[in-house]
Protein backbone atom coordinates (compact mmCIF):
# COMPACT_ATOMS: atom_id res chain seq x y z
CA UNK A 1 0.00 0.00 0.00
CA UNK A 2 2.17 2.81 -1.28
CA UNK A 3 -0.35 5.55 -2.07
CA UNK A 4 -4.14 5.76 -2.22
CA UNK A 5 -6.38 8.77 -2.77
CA UNK A 6 -8.74 9.64 0.07
CA UNK A 7 -12.31 8.80 -0.85
CA UNK A 8 -14.57 11.88 -1.05
CA UNK A 9 -16.27 11.23 2.31
CA UNK A 10 -12.89 10.62 3.98
CA UNK A 11 -11.65 13.91 2.53
CA UNK A 12 -14.74 15.66 3.90
CA UNK A 13 -14.07 14.32 7.42
CA UNK A 14 -10.41 15.36 7.13
CA UNK A 15 -11.28 18.97 6.29
CA UNK A 16 -14.27 19.28 8.62
CA UNK A 17 -12.04 18.84 11.66
CA UNK A 18 -10.61 21.74 13.63
CA UNK A 19 -8.61 21.97 16.85
CA UNK A 20 -11.77 22.62 18.87
CA UNK A 21 -13.81 20.01 16.98
CA UNK A 22 -11.83 16.77 16.65
CA UNK A 23 -13.33 14.11 14.38
CA UNK A 24 -11.98 10.84 15.66
CA UNK A 25 -13.78 7.67 16.66
CA UNK A 26 -12.93 6.03 19.94
CA UNK A 27 -13.34 2.80 21.85
CA UNK A 28 -12.67 2.06 25.50
CA UNK A 29 -11.98 -1.64 26.00
CA UNK A 30 -11.88 -3.20 29.48
CA UNK A 31 -9.87 -6.40 29.99
CA UNK A 32 -9.85 -8.72 32.96
CA UNK A 33 -6.65 -10.04 34.50
CA UNK A 34 -4.91 -12.97 32.82
CA UNK A 35 -6.29 -16.18 34.37
CA UNK A 36 -3.58 -17.99 36.31
CA UNK A 37 -4.36 -21.47 35.04
CA UNK A 38 -1.66 -24.19 35.15
CA UNK A 39 -0.38 -24.98 31.69
CA UNK A 40 -2.25 -22.06 30.09
CA UNK A 41 -0.55 -21.08 26.81
CA UNK A 42 -0.39 -17.40 25.99
CA UNK A 43 0.05 -16.01 22.45
CA UNK A 44 3.60 -16.40 21.17
CA UNK A 45 4.05 -12.62 21.00
CA UNK A 46 2.40 -11.93 24.36
CA UNK A 47 5.38 -12.24 26.70
CA UNK A 48 4.45 -12.91 30.33
CA UNK A 49 1.19 -11.03 29.75
CA UNK A 50 0.66 -9.86 33.34
CA UNK A 51 3.04 -6.94 33.42
CA UNK A 52 1.61 -3.68 31.93
CA UNK A 53 4.93 -3.15 30.16
CA UNK A 54 4.44 -6.47 28.36
CA UNK A 55 0.93 -5.50 27.33
CA UNK A 56 2.27 -2.18 26.05
CA UNK A 57 4.87 -3.99 23.95
CA UNK A 58 2.19 -6.33 22.68
CA UNK A 59 -0.07 -3.42 21.67
CA UNK A 60 2.80 -1.66 19.93
CA UNK A 61 3.87 -4.74 18.00
CA UNK A 62 0.40 -5.65 16.83
CA UNK A 63 -0.55 -2.10 15.89
CA UNK A 64 2.66 -1.75 13.86
CA UNK A 65 1.69 -4.92 11.96
CA UNK A 66 -1.56 -3.34 10.68
CA UNK A 67 -0.61 -1.72 7.33
CA UNK A 68 -3.36 0.90 7.55
CA UNK A 69 -1.96 2.24 10.80
CA UNK A 70 1.34 3.09 9.11
CA UNK A 71 -0.33 5.49 6.66
CA UNK A 72 -0.51 9.27 6.89
CA UNK A 73 -2.38 11.88 4.82
CA UNK A 74 -0.50 14.07 2.36
CA UNK A 75 -1.69 16.62 -0.21
CA UNK A 76 -1.46 15.73 -3.91
CA UNK A 77 -1.24 17.81 -7.06
CA UNK A 78 -4.00 15.90 -8.85
CA UNK A 79 -6.87 15.93 -8.37
CA UNK A 80 -6.65 19.56 -7.31
CA UNK A 81 -7.60 19.83 -3.65
CA UNK A 82 -7.24 16.10 -3.10
CA UNK A 83 -5.16 14.14 -0.62
CA UNK A 84 -3.77 10.62 -0.44
CA UNK A 85 -2.77 7.99 2.06
CA UNK A 86 0.92 7.18 1.88
CA UNK A 87 3.29 5.16 4.05
CA UNK A 88 4.99 7.25 6.72
CA UNK A 89 8.73 6.85 6.01
CA UNK A 90 9.55 7.76 9.63
CA UNK A 91 6.83 5.65 11.24
CA UNK A 92 7.51 4.97 14.92
CA UNK A 93 4.75 3.10 16.71
CA UNK A 94 5.92 4.51 20.06
CA UNK A 95 4.63 7.91 18.97
CA UNK A 96 1.14 6.43 18.96
CA UNK A 97 1.05 3.85 21.78
CA UNK A 98 1.32 5.10 25.37
CA UNK A 99 0.72 3.90 28.91
CA UNK A 100 -0.97 5.83 31.73
CA UNK A 101 -1.19 4.46 35.28
CA UNK A 102 -4.34 5.42 37.15
CA UNK A 103 -5.30 5.34 40.84
CA UNK A 104 -6.74 1.92 41.49
CA UNK A 105 -9.42 2.83 44.05
CA UNK A 106 -12.17 3.44 41.46
CA UNK A 107 -10.56 2.23 38.26
CA UNK A 108 -13.68 2.20 35.98
CA UNK A 109 -14.59 5.79 36.92
CA UNK A 110 -11.01 6.94 36.44
CA UNK A 111 -10.82 5.37 32.98
CA UNK A 112 -14.01 7.21 31.89
CA UNK A 113 -12.67 10.50 33.24
CA UNK A 114 -9.34 10.08 31.48
CA UNK A 115 -11.01 8.90 28.27
CA UNK A 116 -12.96 12.17 28.20
CA UNK A 117 -9.74 14.18 28.52
CA UNK A 118 -8.01 12.18 25.81
CA UNK A 119 -11.00 12.41 23.46
CA UNK A 120 -10.78 16.21 23.62
CA UNK A 121 -7.39 16.18 21.94
CA UNK A 122 -7.19 15.90 18.13
CA UNK A 123 -4.80 13.31 16.76
CA UNK A 124 -1.61 14.64 15.16
CA UNK A 125 -2.22 15.40 11.47
CA UNK A 126 1.39 15.04 10.29
CA UNK A 127 1.51 11.43 11.50
CA UNK A 128 -0.73 8.42 10.90
CA UNK A 129 -3.94 9.72 12.56
CA UNK A 130 -4.48 7.33 15.46
CA UNK A 131 -3.52 6.81 19.10
CA UNK A 132 -3.69 3.97 21.63
CA UNK A 133 -3.46 4.22 25.41
CA UNK A 134 -2.92 1.40 27.88
CA UNK A 135 -4.65 2.37 31.13
CA UNK A 136 -3.26 0.34 34.02
CA UNK A 137 -3.33 0.47 37.83
CA UNK A 138 -6.35 -1.66 38.80
CA UNK A 139 -5.66 -3.65 42.00
CA UNK A 140 -6.85 -6.94 40.47
CA UNK A 141 -4.55 -6.72 37.44
CA UNK A 142 -7.28 -5.76 35.01
CA UNK A 143 -6.61 -2.93 32.56
CA UNK A 144 -8.21 -0.87 29.80
CA UNK A 145 -7.18 0.24 26.33
CA UNK A 146 -8.41 3.45 24.69
CA UNK A 147 -8.20 3.56 20.89
CA UNK A 148 -8.62 6.74 18.82
CA UNK A 149 -8.92 6.61 15.02
CA UNK A 150 -9.55 9.65 12.85
CA UNK A 151 -12.89 9.38 11.05
CA UNK A 152 -11.08 9.83 7.73
CA UNK A 153 -9.23 6.60 8.50
CA UNK A 154 -12.30 4.50 9.17
CA UNK A 155 -16.04 4.30 9.65
CA UNK A 156 -17.42 2.09 12.41
CA UNK A 157 -17.08 -1.23 10.60
CA UNK A 158 -13.65 -0.40 9.22
CA UNK A 159 -12.56 0.76 12.69
CA UNK A 160 -13.58 -2.63 14.09
CA UNK A 161 -11.59 -4.39 11.38
CA UNK A 162 -8.50 -2.27 12.10
CA UNK A 163 -8.78 -2.41 15.88
CA UNK A 164 -9.43 -6.16 15.88
CA UNK A 165 -5.82 -6.67 14.84
CA UNK A 166 -4.70 -6.16 18.45
CA UNK A 167 -6.69 -9.16 19.74
CA UNK A 168 -5.05 -12.55 20.23
CA UNK A 169 -7.54 -14.40 18.04
CA UNK A 170 -7.22 -12.06 15.03
CA UNK A 171 -3.46 -11.57 15.36
CA UNK A 172 -2.92 -15.34 15.36
CA UNK A 173 -4.98 -15.73 12.19
CA UNK A 174 -3.29 -12.88 10.33
CA UNK A 175 -1.42 -14.01 7.25
CA UNK A 176 1.49 -12.19 5.61
CA UNK A 177 0.29 -9.97 2.81
CA UNK A 178 1.02 -11.27 -0.66
CA UNK A 179 3.20 -9.26 -2.94
CA UNK A 180 1.12 -7.55 -5.60
CA UNK A 181 1.68 -8.80 -9.12
CA UNK A 182 3.47 -6.33 -11.38
CA UNK A 183 1.10 -4.33 -13.55
CA UNK A 184 2.32 -3.57 -17.08
CA UNK A 185 2.69 0.15 -17.78
CA UNK A 186 -0.05 1.80 -19.73
CA UNK A 187 -0.73 5.23 -21.12
CA UNK A 188 -2.21 7.84 -18.81
CA UNK A 189 -4.34 8.99 -21.76
CA UNK A 190 -7.75 7.25 -21.77
CA UNK A 191 -8.89 5.61 -24.99
CA UNK A 192 -12.17 6.42 -26.76
CA UNK A 193 -13.99 3.58 -25.01
CA UNK A 194 -12.75 4.74 -21.63
CA UNK A 195 -13.82 8.31 -22.36
CA UNK A 196 -17.31 7.14 -23.23
CA UNK A 197 -17.49 5.05 -20.06
CA UNK A 198 -16.20 7.95 -17.93
CA UNK A 199 -18.80 10.30 -19.41
CA UNK A 200 -21.58 7.79 -18.82
CA UNK A 201 -20.48 7.23 -15.22
CA UNK A 202 -20.23 10.95 -14.59
CA UNK A 203 -23.75 11.52 -15.90
CA UNK A 204 -24.95 8.77 -13.58
CA UNK A 205 -23.09 10.40 -10.68
CA UNK A 206 -24.67 13.75 -11.55
CA UNK A 207 -28.14 12.20 -11.57
CA UNK A 208 -27.55 10.60 -8.18
CA UNK A 209 -26.14 13.86 -6.82
CA UNK A 210 -29.26 15.75 -7.94
CA UNK A 211 -31.52 13.11 -6.36
CA UNK A 212 -29.63 13.00 -3.08
CA UNK A 213 -29.20 16.79 -2.99
CA UNK A 214 -32.93 17.31 -3.46
CA UNK A 215 -33.66 14.94 -0.57
CA UNK A 216 -31.15 16.65 1.71
CA UNK A 217 -32.32 20.18 0.90
CA UNK A 218 -36.00 19.28 1.15
CA UNK A 219 -35.57 17.56 4.48
CA UNK A 220 -33.43 20.41 5.81
CA UNK A 221 -36.01 23.05 4.89
CA UNK A 222 -38.76 20.99 6.46
CA UNK A 223 -36.75 20.68 9.64
CA UNK A 224 -35.85 24.39 9.71
CA UNK A 225 -39.56 25.18 9.60
CA UNK A 226 -40.40 23.03 12.61
CA UNK A 227 -37.62 23.91 15.05
CA UNK A 228 -39.03 25.65 18.10
CA UNK A 229 -35.74 26.61 19.75
CA UNK A 230 -36.20 24.60 22.93
CA UNK A 231 -34.58 21.34 21.76
CA UNK A 232 -31.48 23.31 20.83
CA UNK A 233 -30.92 24.31 24.45
CA UNK A 234 -30.53 20.64 25.41
CA UNK A 235 -29.00 19.03 22.33
CA UNK A 236 -27.06 21.76 20.57
CA UNK A 237 -24.85 24.46 21.99
CA UNK A 238 -21.75 26.46 21.27
CA UNK A 239 -18.99 23.88 21.41
CA UNK A 240 -16.68 24.29 24.39
CA UNK A 241 -14.12 21.79 23.10
CA UNK A 242 -14.43 19.81 26.34
CA UNK A 243 -15.72 16.26 26.59
CA UNK A 244 -17.47 14.04 29.11
CA UNK A 245 -17.69 10.27 28.72
CA UNK A 246 -20.08 7.87 30.45
CA UNK A 247 -20.58 4.15 29.94
CA UNK A 248 -23.60 1.91 30.42
CA UNK A 249 -24.03 -1.88 30.16
CA UNK A 250 -27.43 -3.42 29.39
CA UNK A 251 -28.33 -7.12 29.27
CA UNK A 252 -28.79 -8.23 25.66
CA UNK A 253 -31.19 -11.05 26.57
CA UNK A 254 -33.59 -8.47 28.03
CA UNK A 255 -33.42 -6.45 24.81
CA UNK A 256 -34.25 -9.57 22.80
CA UNK A 257 -37.09 -10.48 25.17
CA UNK A 258 -38.68 -7.08 24.49
CA UNK A 259 -38.12 -7.57 20.75
CA UNK A 260 -39.84 -10.97 20.81
CA UNK A 261 -42.81 -9.53 22.70
CA UNK A 262 -43.25 -6.40 20.58
CA UNK A 263 -41.77 -7.16 17.15
CA UNK A 264 -39.22 -5.17 15.20
CA UNK A 265 -35.49 -5.43 15.78
CA UNK A 266 -33.13 -5.23 18.74
CA UNK A 267 -31.93 -1.89 17.34
CA UNK A 268 -35.52 -0.58 17.44
CA UNK A 269 -35.67 -1.49 21.12
CA UNK A 270 -32.38 0.25 21.87
CA UNK A 271 -33.47 3.40 20.02
CA UNK A 272 -36.69 3.42 22.05
CA UNK A 273 -34.62 3.06 25.23
CA UNK A 274 -32.60 6.12 24.18
CA UNK A 275 -35.81 8.07 23.53
CA UNK A 276 -37.25 7.18 26.95
CA UNK A 277 -33.96 7.99 28.66
CA UNK A 278 -33.89 11.43 27.05
CA UNK A 279 -37.43 12.05 28.30
CA UNK A 280 -36.32 11.12 31.85
CA UNK A 281 -33.26 13.32 31.45
CA UNK A 282 -35.39 16.32 30.45
CA UNK A 283 -37.58 15.74 33.49
CA UNK A 284 -34.60 15.34 35.81
CA UNK A 285 -33.15 18.61 34.57
CA UNK A 286 -36.42 20.40 35.16
CA UNK A 287 -36.69 21.26 31.46
CA UNK A 288 -39.99 21.41 29.60
CA UNK A 289 -40.35 18.74 26.94
CA UNK A 290 -39.72 20.03 23.43
CA UNK A 291 -42.75 20.76 21.30
CA UNK A 292 -41.21 18.65 18.54
CA UNK A 293 -39.25 15.45 19.01
CA UNK A 294 -35.47 15.64 18.69
CA UNK A 295 -34.09 14.14 15.50
CA UNK A 296 -31.38 11.48 15.59
CA UNK A 297 -29.03 10.58 12.77
CA UNK A 298 -28.70 6.79 12.68
CA UNK A 299 -25.68 5.94 10.49
CA UNK A 300 -26.10 3.06 8.05
CA UNK A 301 -23.24 1.15 6.49
CA UNK A 302 -23.42 0.77 2.71
CA UNK A 303 -21.13 -2.25 2.81
CA UNK A 304 -22.76 -5.49 1.77
CA UNK A 305 -23.09 -8.11 4.53
CA UNK A 306 -20.15 -10.49 4.47
CA UNK A 307 -18.09 -8.24 2.21
CA UNK A 308 -14.57 -7.24 3.36
CA UNK A 309 -14.52 -3.83 5.07
CA UNK A 310 -12.38 -2.22 2.37
CA UNK A 311 -10.69 1.18 2.65
CA UNK A 312 -12.38 4.41 3.60
CA UNK A 313 -15.85 5.35 4.82
CA UNK A 314 -18.95 3.87 3.23
CA UNK A 315 -21.87 5.47 5.05
CA UNK A 316 -25.32 6.87 4.67
CA UNK A 317 -27.84 7.47 7.41
CA UNK A 318 -31.46 7.32 8.45
CA UNK A 319 -33.20 10.16 10.26
CA UNK A 320 -35.40 9.29 13.21
CA UNK A 321 -37.56 11.60 15.29
CA UNK A 322 -37.06 10.12 18.76
CA UNK A 323 -40.56 10.09 20.39
CA UNK A 324 -39.52 11.96 23.54
CA UNK A 325 -42.89 13.71 23.75
CA UNK A 326 -44.75 10.37 23.92
CA UNK A 327 -45.49 9.43 27.54
CA UNK A 328 -46.27 5.74 27.02
CA UNK A 329 -43.15 3.52 26.68
CA UNK A 330 -44.97 0.97 24.51
CA UNK A 331 -46.14 3.70 22.16
CA UNK A 332 -42.60 5.07 22.01
CA UNK A 333 -41.30 1.67 20.90
CA UNK A 334 -44.06 1.31 18.31
CA UNK A 335 -43.31 4.78 16.93
CA UNK A 336 -39.61 3.97 16.60
CA UNK A 337 -40.34 0.64 14.91
CA UNK A 338 -42.72 2.19 12.36
CA UNK A 339 -40.35 5.07 11.60
CA UNK A 340 -37.39 2.74 11.07
CA UNK A 341 -39.51 0.51 8.83
CA UNK A 342 -40.32 3.57 6.70
CA UNK A 343 -36.64 4.51 6.56
CA UNK A 344 -35.63 1.05 5.42
CA UNK A 345 -38.39 0.96 2.81
CA UNK A 346 -37.26 4.32 1.39
CA UNK A 347 -33.60 3.29 1.39
CA UNK A 348 -30.42 5.25 2.16
CA UNK A 349 -30.84 7.75 -0.71
CA UNK A 350 -33.68 9.68 0.94
CA UNK A 351 -33.71 12.41 3.56
CA UNK A 352 -31.01 14.55 5.12
CA UNK A 353 -29.25 11.42 6.36
CA UNK A 354 -28.11 10.92 2.78
CA UNK A 355 -25.77 13.90 3.03
CA UNK A 356 -22.85 11.47 3.28
CA UNK A 357 -23.75 10.19 -0.19
CA UNK A 358 -23.76 13.73 -1.53
CA UNK A 359 -20.16 14.10 -0.34
CA UNK A 360 -19.19 11.30 -2.75
CA UNK A 361 -20.27 13.45 -5.70
CA UNK A 362 -18.35 16.63 -4.80
CA UNK A 363 -14.98 17.70 -6.21
CA UNK A 364 -12.06 17.65 -3.74
CA UNK A 365 -11.85 21.45 -3.91
CA UNK A 366 -15.42 21.65 -2.62
CA UNK A 367 -14.39 19.68 0.45
CA UNK A 368 -11.22 21.67 1.01
CA UNK A 369 -12.80 25.12 0.83
CA UNK A 370 -16.40 24.33 1.70
CA UNK A 371 -15.70 22.44 4.93
CA UNK A 372 -15.47 25.59 7.13
CA UNK A 373 -18.87 26.70 5.83
CA UNK A 374 -20.48 23.26 6.13
CA UNK A 375 -19.07 22.35 9.53
CA UNK A 376 -21.88 24.08 11.43
CA UNK A 377 -24.70 22.74 9.27
CA UNK A 378 -25.29 19.52 11.24
CA UNK A 379 -27.82 21.28 13.47
CA UNK A 380 -30.03 21.89 10.43
CA UNK A 381 -30.17 18.15 9.82
CA UNK A 382 -30.25 16.42 13.20
CA UNK A 383 -29.92 16.98 16.95
CA UNK A 384 -27.85 14.01 18.07
CA UNK A 385 -26.11 10.92 16.74
CA UNK A 386 -27.16 7.39 17.73
CA UNK A 387 -25.10 4.61 16.16
CA UNK A 388 -24.47 0.90 16.58
CA UNK A 389 -21.00 -0.57 16.03
CA UNK A 390 -20.93 -4.35 15.46
CA UNK A 391 -18.26 -6.52 17.09
CA UNK A 392 -17.16 -10.11 16.45
CA UNK A 393 -19.38 -12.60 18.24
CA UNK A 394 -16.51 -14.78 19.40
CA UNK A 395 -14.75 -14.21 22.73
CA UNK A 396 -11.71 -11.92 22.41
CA UNK A 397 -8.59 -11.44 24.51
CA UNK A 398 -5.36 -9.46 24.63
CA UNK A 399 -2.24 -11.21 25.90
CA UNK A 400 -4.49 -13.83 27.44
CA UNK A 401 -6.57 -11.20 29.27
CA UNK A 402 -10.29 -11.62 28.38
CA UNK A 403 -12.19 -8.69 26.89
CA UNK A 404 -14.92 -7.82 29.38
CA UNK A 405 -16.50 -4.83 27.65
CA UNK A 406 -15.92 -2.49 24.73
CA UNK A 407 -17.59 0.92 24.77
CA UNK A 408 -17.59 2.70 21.37
CA UNK A 409 -17.37 6.49 21.28
CA UNK A 410 -18.61 8.62 18.40
CA UNK A 411 -17.41 12.13 17.49
CA UNK A 412 -19.50 15.25 18.05
CA UNK A 413 -20.42 17.49 15.15
CA UNK A 414 -19.77 21.20 15.58
CA UNK A 415 -22.44 22.77 17.76
CA UNK A 416 -23.84 19.45 18.97
CA UNK A 417 -23.58 18.16 22.48
CA UNK A 418 -24.41 14.43 22.54
CA UNK A 419 -23.50 11.23 20.68
CA UNK A 420 -24.61 7.71 21.66
CA UNK A 421 -22.79 4.61 20.38
CA UNK A 422 -23.69 0.99 21.16
CA UNK A 423 -21.91 -2.37 20.69
CA UNK A 424 -23.32 -5.81 21.58
CA UNK A 425 -20.66 -8.22 22.90
CA UNK A 426 -20.62 -11.17 25.26
CA UNK A 427 -24.35 -11.10 26.00
CA UNK A 428 -24.30 -7.38 26.87
CA UNK A 429 -24.91 -4.10 25.07
CA UNK A 430 -22.09 -1.70 25.88
CA UNK A 431 -23.08 1.96 25.40
CA UNK A 432 -20.62 4.82 25.18
CA UNK A 433 -21.96 8.35 25.72
CA UNK A 434 -19.87 11.31 24.57
CA UNK A 435 -21.01 14.84 25.37
CA UNK A 436 -19.78 18.40 25.36
CA UNK A 437 -18.47 18.91 28.89
CA UNK A 438 -20.12 22.27 29.45
CA UNK A 439 -23.41 21.64 27.65
CA UNK A 440 -24.01 18.29 29.38
CA UNK A 441 -22.26 18.30 32.78
CA UNK A 442 -24.73 15.69 34.10
CA UNK A 443 -24.01 12.95 31.58
CA UNK A 444 -24.06 10.40 34.42
CA UNK A 445 -27.78 11.16 34.86
CA UNK A 446 -28.47 10.25 31.24
CA UNK A 447 -26.48 7.04 31.70
CA UNK A 448 -28.62 6.10 34.71
CA UNK A 449 -31.78 6.94 32.74
CA UNK A 450 -30.87 4.36 30.08
CA UNK A 451 -30.84 1.60 32.71
CA UNK A 452 -34.09 2.85 34.22
CA UNK A 453 -35.81 2.91 30.83
CA UNK A 454 -34.85 -0.70 30.09
CA UNK A 455 -36.28 -1.65 33.50
CA UNK A 456 -39.53 0.07 32.49
CA UNK A 457 -39.80 -1.88 29.23
CA UNK A 458 -38.65 -5.14 30.84
CA UNK A 459 -39.12 -5.15 34.62
CA UNK A 460 -36.22 -6.93 36.38
CA UNK A 461 -38.57 -9.46 37.97
CA UNK A 462 -40.10 -10.40 34.59
CA UNK A 463 -39.82 -14.08 33.66
Residue 264 reports pLDDT greater than 80: yes
Q: What is the pLDDT of residues 192-203, one digit of tens each?
A: 444 344 444 433
Average pLDDT, the chain: 78
Q: What is the pLDDT of residues 44-88, one digit of tens each?
A: 554 444 455 689 999 999 999 999 899 999 988 888 778 899 999
Residue 355 reports pLDDT greater than 70: no
CA atoms of 66 and 171, how far apart (whole Å) = 10
Least confident of 298-302, 399-403, 440-444: 298-302
* Average pLDDT of span 367-375: 52
Residue 205 CA to chain centroid, in angstroms? 27
The CB-side HSE value for 216 (13 A sphere, CA atoms) comes to: 21
The H or E element that residue 453 is part of is helix 443-457
Q: Which burial class, exposed, middle or buried, applies to 339 when counting CB atoms under 10 A from its CB (0-12, 13-18, 19+)?
A: buried
pLDDT of residue 215: 46
DSSP type of residue 289: P
Residue 363 reports pLDDT greater than 70: no
pLDDT of residue 311: 53
Q: What is the pLDDT of residues 162-187, one digit of tens each?
A: 877 889 988 776 655 444 454 444 44
CA atoms of 292 and 11, how far apart (whole Å) = 34
Bridge partner list, 101: 136
Query: Would you place residue 313 in the very low, low, confident or very high pLDDT band (cuts 50, 70, 90)?
Result: very low
- 401, 411, 426: which is closest to 144 by C-alpha? 401
Strand order in the sheet with 401-409: 97-101, 130-136, 143-150, 24-31, 401-409, 397-398
pLDDT of residue 214: 42
pTM, two decimals, is 0.81
Residue 398 contacts residue 205 (beta carbons within 8 Å)? no
Strand order in the sheet with 418-425: 243-251, 428-436, 418-425, 384-388, 295-301, 315-321
Three-class secondary structure of residue 102 per DSSP: coil
Amino acid sequence: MSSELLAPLDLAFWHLESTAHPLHLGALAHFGPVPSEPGRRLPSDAGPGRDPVDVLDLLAGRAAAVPRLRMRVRDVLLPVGGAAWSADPDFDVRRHVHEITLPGADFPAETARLAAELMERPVARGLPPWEMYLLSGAPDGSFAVLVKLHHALADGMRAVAIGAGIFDEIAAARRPARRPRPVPPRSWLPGPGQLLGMARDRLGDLGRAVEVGASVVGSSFARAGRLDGRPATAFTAESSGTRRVATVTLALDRVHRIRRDTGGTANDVLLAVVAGALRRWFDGRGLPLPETDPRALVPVSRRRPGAPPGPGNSLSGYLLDLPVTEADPGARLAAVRHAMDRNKAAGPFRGAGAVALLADQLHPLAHRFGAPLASGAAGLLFDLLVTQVPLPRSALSLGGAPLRALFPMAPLARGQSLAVAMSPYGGQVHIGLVADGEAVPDLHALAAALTAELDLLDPPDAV
